[in-house]
Structure 1
Amino acid sequence: MSRFVSAALVGAALLVSGNAFAYDAAAGKAIYDASCATCHKTGMMGAPKVGDKAAWAPRIAQGMNTLVSKSIKGFKGTKGMMPAKGGNAKLTDAQVGNAVAYMVGQSK
């Protein structure tokens, strides 16, 4: 019984912290290539270029949940803007998360 309770508590803690979703960076590459590269390869609209560690470091420090949330909902900052789902409303939240995971992985 105590193992079950421990597992339940760990699961609840993950849900509360928002880290229950595991992002798939490998699957995110295809989404990046199709929907994100237009801006994140060139820096269009102030997008941080993939691989630019200095530009990504403060964003990565905010945590994946914040990055994914801003990517899903859209975000306007002082240096640019991110349209909701990169302007591709057909993307699922999971696909956006995977694409963000891919970009983060390439930019650490």
Structure 2
Amino acid sequence: MNAAASQQSDTKNKVSIAVGKRLKKLRIDAEKTQEELAFDSNVDKTFISAIERGVANPSVLTLANICHGLGITLEELFQSIALSMKPTETQRRSNMAQPELKPKRPRLR
């Protein structure tokens, strides 16, 4: 792994870990197990675990569902997380799909 990829992964992990720790604290404060929260949020319990460990990168919609399961708002979830990230210097992905060019067939008249 090169230095840029390592730096990007380290920064991402800090944010993911902070969100995961906050989610775990809120879940424990709500006296819910991962399984109960998963059921209430319509999310798989293994995904709840992955988020809490900072391994998963959930969508905002998934986080909103989890917040609903906890009875809190997204604002409350992010309230004590004071991190920001410098944009990474990686290249943007391009669409590598290339349409197959076929010669035009003459029309039969």
* TM-score above 0.5, yes or no: no
Task: Give the structure-2-normalised TM-score.
Answer: 0.32
Task: Give the structure-1-normalised TM-score.
Answer: 0.33
Higher relative contact order (CA 8 A, sep 6+): 1
Larger Cα Rg: Structure 1 or Structure 2?
A: 2
Q: Which has the higher helix share?
A: 1
